[in-house]
Amino acid sequence: MVASSSLSNSNNQAAARAAAERARAAAAERARVANAANTQRANARAADRNSVPGYSGKSSFEASPNSSMAAARAADRQSMLGYTSGTLRKGAEGDSVKALQERLTASGFDTGGADGKFGPRTERALKNYQRSQGLSADGVAGRKTYDSFNGVKTPGTKTDGVTSVNADKSVKGPVNTQLPDSGDGFTTYGPRRMQYGTEQTVKNMQEIAARYKAATGKTLEIGDLSAKGGVKTDRHKTHTNGANVDLRPPSTNGGPSNWKNAGYDRDATRTLIQEIKRTNPNAKILFNDPVLIKEGLTSRAGGHDNHLHVSFK
């Protein structure tokens, strides 16, 4: 009995040791898999960060390898923009507002300087940025806005749809579609016989006008496109391919439009150009406002003080 019991004990101990060894091995394997996953996530985060122009901060994920993706992103938002938690809205002040203003300006949305005070111009710039990203344009910078700055895509946004749909569509084709004389966000000026374009050009202008109206509350004035069939006229050297469009620059007082006039609305003009480029990034725009030229949004050309010339590509 004693011997048998002792043998049984010894067998049990051996079994227990084997079980403990298996558990250790399993734990080691789990740790190895977890580390590999952590590395993969860290690489994904690094790629995300690198996709943000000019951003080269150290990975906050590496600093805390056991944290979740959400925590890593939160840390990124903080390290990048002074974002701590919650939201920034009109009335806020401080370094995080300044960082937000700098970021908006770098993205092409003018806040009227980075003074660290969240005023109406910052709110307007933020709303326009949010709209351009397909986010809800509430003028409040929160998690989704900062994720968007960080290059984290919000799935199913309007931006994704619009960009991918239009990017593939050629503006080439027969010049036989007439722009309606008015529509959502636009009216026309000049002779109706000059308002023919390719089907895609006319569609582009209607969509751009609707977005511009939503962003600014203003109505876009559209002038010459092409004559039907793209025939040459004495009105233009170009404008024969159905993909050129002339636009009046927005004004704040309804007066004659020219960038040299007091009533010229540069902010609205900038928004208009951003709406054009958002879905048609290769469009070439001629307009002589020296500020917009300096910002890389337009190019100088003779005779283009009082209208923007857009060539869709």
The whole-angstrom separation of Cα 306 and Cα 258 is 4
Nearest residue to 236 via CA among 305, 313, 303: 303
CA angle centred on 188, ends 193 and 278, rounded to 5°: 110
Q: Are 226 and 217 in contact (CB under 8 A)?
A: no
Cβ 221 to Zn ion, closest distance in Å? 14
Cβ 144 to Zn ion, closest distance in Å? 39
Residue 309: in which H helix or E strand, if any?
A: strand 308-311
Nearest residue (beta carbon) to Zn ion:
309
Q: Are 217 and 250 in contact (CB under 8 A)?
A: no
Cβ 277 to Zn ion, closest distance in Å? 17
Size of the site for Zn ion (CB under 5 A): 2
Cβ 46 to Zn ion, closest distance in Å? 45
Cβ 249 to Zn ion, closest distance in Å? 13
Nearer to Zn ion, 135 or 286 (CB): 286
Site map 58..97 versus Zn ion, x via CB under 5 A:
----------------------------------------
- Cα(first)–Cα(last) distance of the chain, in Å? 95
Site residues for Zn ion, window 271-310 (CB under 5 A)? 309
Contacts of 173 (CB under 8 A, 6+ apart): 198, 199, 200, 242
Site map 246..265 versus Zn ion, x via CB under 5 A:
x-------------------
Q: Are 207 and 220 in contact (CB under 8 A)?
A: no
Cβ 307 to Zn ion, closest distance in Å? 7
Site residues for Zn ion, window 229-248 (CB under 5 A)? 246
What is the number of other CB atoms lying within 10 angstroms of the CB of residue 247?
27
Nearer to Zn ion, 246 or 275 (CB): 246
Nearer to Zn ion, 185 or 223 (CB): 223
| Residues of the shown chain interacting with Zn ion in the complex, contacts defined by CB under 5 A | 246, 309
